[in-house]
A and B are shown apart, each in its own frame.
Chain A
Amino acid sequence: MRAAIAQSDCFLGDITRNLATHLRLAKEAVKGGATLVVFPELSLSGYLLEDRVKDIALSAREAAALFDDAGLSGTVIGVGFPEKTRGAIYNSYALIRCGAKKAELIGVQRKVNLPTYGMFDESRHFRAGSSLCAHELPGGATAAVLICEDMWHPALPVALAQLPDGMPHLVIVPAASPSRGYRGKRPSNLEGWEHNAEYLARVYGAATLNAQRVGVEDSLIFAGGSVATDHDGVLKRADLFKEEILFVDIDIEALSRTRAKAPVVSAHDREILRSLFA
């Protein structure tokens, strides 16, 4: 399968304009052969929403419905949005399958670890999610979503590997990581993302799609620099400081062969894990 990371920019708090950006980039990605197009964290709304969150949050169904009649039939789109439920707002990510007319919701992931330190204040505005799952994509691949900070918590990939069917083929990692640390070769936050993507590929045999935001919101500079690993764990990088579509070809069969060669994760013994955590 060919996947695409849409390293997108957005207008802070303006879902209508951001939807237009999503449709434009998704169409370009589809033209390039992609059947899965993933956008960054909170891609429909922007990141630094603060008090605006309450005014623009929408339900997962409403988010999916934005892609009705999108002209992207057969394409799966991953989008980030503030999700409104009856009693709470989550930092969520929806996988949406576009149809000939209606768009259908494949699943939603709610961010589990809400960074609330330094420049981050997420738990003030969002409630934390509490579950992880594998989403079935058309064609037989499975995908899990780790939203930004969730990729940095080692327990989460471990938990993914314990899902009933084992580690999903793809790990989609939408992020809005403000760049910082300009004293090295690359912004130091991006170096961390690369290490994480390579770690997931090497240890878990998962193809990783880390979709980074590009843009500026007040003091925060989102530098882009999305990364992807394919079935062999080969890393690809998007450019810095510009909108870009990064294509990656992932051979699901080859991915399974890679895992079989070094079945580190499948050797995880639940009983041992349980006793270690006891």
Chain B
Amino acid sequence: MRKKERPPLTLPPLNGQLAADALTFFIRRETERAGFDGVVLGLSGGIDSALVAYLAARALGPKRVTGLLMPYRSSSKGSVTDAKKIVKALGIRHHLLDITAAVDGFERDLMTDRDTLRAGRLGNAMARMRMTALFDYSLAHRAMVLGTSNKSEIALGYATLFGDSASAVNPIGDLYKTDVYALSRHLGIPKALIEKAPSADLWEGQTDEGEIGFRYADMDPVLHRLLDRRESPAALIAQGADPALVGFVSKKMLAMHYKRKIPIIAKLDTRTFGVDFLYAKDILS
């Protein structure tokens, strides 16, 4: 007898209009209150940074938004083409900054034991080189760095610490990848960008889902249940979720938590940063 397929868990759909309005308001307010003239973000050609660019252009007008296109030698050629399409569609400012020479210089002059974990370390170096360029641009042009990591990546720690995880303000960090797609469709981002396979693009042919081993469409509902609704892994498995997926996601969520914390300071005195010196970033002196 054929086993009856259980319906997969689903993520309740995002209200695209409402989320777009909230995030537009958020970007405008945070940019103006922090005293920046505009924003800058890394435009990879992927859907996350495309979405942030669309939201930022909606919030501030295209001329106050700058996208940095920062390919490495091994980046897929389509990435720059796709990023340029976004620049053109929105009319935002952009710079094409090839990081190949900088990363190669890093590898040549600053890397010890070059053959140990080489691919991963080079991937990190690329992400951090991009971060360096973004924050450098930020200072030179009074532009606030917008983050482009989504909630699925942040939950799984699928990011380079102090690399793509670094930003001043992240408008999409509470949106699962599934939500990113929904909001992108709502904002009319070209279909081709929404449909291409998500990739960190650190080497040719790399895809998130290939590397992680699960599809976002399957991971997101599980993350939502575990993280937002605080259901137990056992309850999800009882509802038909794949035990391997639930196990993977629930372990990663906490194992990668260090990537979401500011550096831990050993507490010795009365008030310690990160412990009991409690102020909002937006507090005015």
B15 in contact with A48 (CB, 8 Å): no
Tell whether, in the assembled complex, residue A51 and residue B278 are in contact, meaning their CB atoms are under 8 Å apart. yes
Q: Which residues of A contact B281 (CB under 8 A)?
A: 218
Q: Which residues of B contact A51 (CB under 8 A)?
A: 277-279
Verify B29–A216 contact, CB threshold 8 A: yes
Q: Which residues of chain B (247-284) have a CB below 8 Å from chain A?
A: 277-284
Contacts of B15 on A, CB cut-off 8 Å? 182-185
Complex: A147 Cα to B281 Cα, angstroms = 25
Stretch binding the partner chain, chosen from A10-18, A25-33, A248-256, A260-268 = A10-18
**The residue from B22, B25, B282, B284 contacting A218, defined by CB atoms under 8 A apart:** B282
B33 interfacial by beta-carbon distance below 8 Å: yes
Q: Are A217 and B284 in contact (CB under 8 A)?
A: no
0/1 interface trace, chain B 54-96, chain A, CB 8 Å (1 if under): 0000000000000000000000000000000000000000000
Cα distance, A126 to B194, chains bound together (Å): 47
**Cβ–Cβ contact B26 & A13, under 8 A:** no
Instruction: Say yes or no: is B188 at the interface (Cβ < 8 Å to chain A).
Output: no
Task: List CB contacts (< 8 Å) of A215-258 with chain B.
Answer: 215-218, 221, 223, 240-241
Contact A186 B18 (CB under 8 A): yes
Given A12-B284, A13-B284, A216-B29, A50 and B22 contact (CB-CB distance below 8 Å): no
**How far does the Cβ of A239 sit from chain B's closest Cβ, in whole Å?**
10
Closest to A214 in B: B25
Q: Is B12 in contact with A183, judged by CB distance below 8 angstroms?
A: yes
Q: A153 interface residue, CB < 8 Å from B? A: no
Task: Check: A101 CB closer than 8 A to any chain B CB.
Answer: no
Report yes or no: B33 in contact with A216, Cβ–Cβ below 8 A. yes
C-alpha gap A184/B15 in the complex (Å): 6
Instruction: Given A52-B279, A241-B22, answer yes or no on A14-B13 (Cβ-Cβ < 8 Å).
Output: no
A182–B280 touching, CB < 8 Å: no
How many chain-B residues does the 8 Å CB contact rule pick out? 23
A12 to B278, CA, bound (A): 14
Chain A residues with CB under 8 Å of B277's CB are 51
**A162 cross-chain contacts in B, Cβ below 8 A:** none
Interface: B159 (CB within 8 A): no
Most buried by A among B33, B278, B279, B283: B283
Instruction: Mark interface residues in A48-77 (1 if CB within 8 Å of B CB, else 0).
Output: 111110000000000000000000000000
- Answer whether residue B19 sits at the interface, using C-beta atoms and an 8 A cutoff: yes
B279 touches A50 (CB 8 A): yes
Residue from B19, B33, B281, B282 whose CB has the most chain A CB atoms within 10 Å: B282
With A183-B13, A183-B14 as given contacts, are A241 and B21 in contact (CB-CB < 8 Å)? Answer: yes
Complex Cα spacing A52 to B281, Å? 12
Q: Decide if A107 is an interface residue (CB 8 Å cutoff).
A: no
Q: Beyond A51-B278, A241-B25, is A182–B284 a contact (Cβ under 8 Å)?
A: no
Contact B14 A52 (CB under 8 A): no
Q: Are A48 and B284 in contact (CB under 8 A)?
A: no
Q: Verify B282–A223 contact, CB threshold 8 A.
A: no
Is the C-beta of B208 less than 8 angstroms from some C-beta in chain A? Answer: no
B18 touches A52 (CB 8 A): no
Once the chains bind, are A217 and B14 in contact (CB under 8 Å)? no
Q: How far is the CB of B224 from chain A (nearest CB, A)?
A: 10
A99 sits at the interface (CB 8 A): no
The chain A residue sitting closest to B19, CB to CB, is: A182
Report the separation of the CA atoms of residues A187 and B279 in the bound assembly, to the nearest whole angstrom.
26
Q: Is B30 in contact with chain A by the CB < 8 A criterion?
A: yes
Given contacts A182-B14, A183-B14, A50 and B278 within 8 Å (CB-CB):
yes
Q: Nearest Cβ in chain A — how far from B277, in angstroms?
A: 7
- Tell me the smallest distance from the CB of A236 to a CB of chain B, in Å: 20
Does any Cβ of B come within 8 Å of A21's Cβ? no
Scan B1-43; emit 1 where CB is below 8 A from any A CB, else 0.
0000000000011110011011011100110010000000000
Interface of B with A (CB < 8 Å)? 12-15, 18-19, 21-22, 24-26, 29-30, 33, 277-285
14 sample A-B contacts, Cβ–Cβ < 8 Å, listed by A number: A12-B280, A12-B282, A12-B283, A13-B283, A13-B284, A14-B284, A179-B22, A182-B22, A183-B13, A183-B15, A186-B18, A216-B33, A218-B282, A240-B18
Q: Other CB < 8 Å A-B pairs besides A13-B283, A182-B19, 7 of them?
A: A11-B284, A12-B280, A12-B282, A50-B278, A182-B14, A217-B280, A217-B282
User: Which residues of A are at the interface with B, using a C-beta cutoff of 8 A?
Assistant: 11-14, 48-52, 179, 182-187, 215-218, 221, 223, 240-241
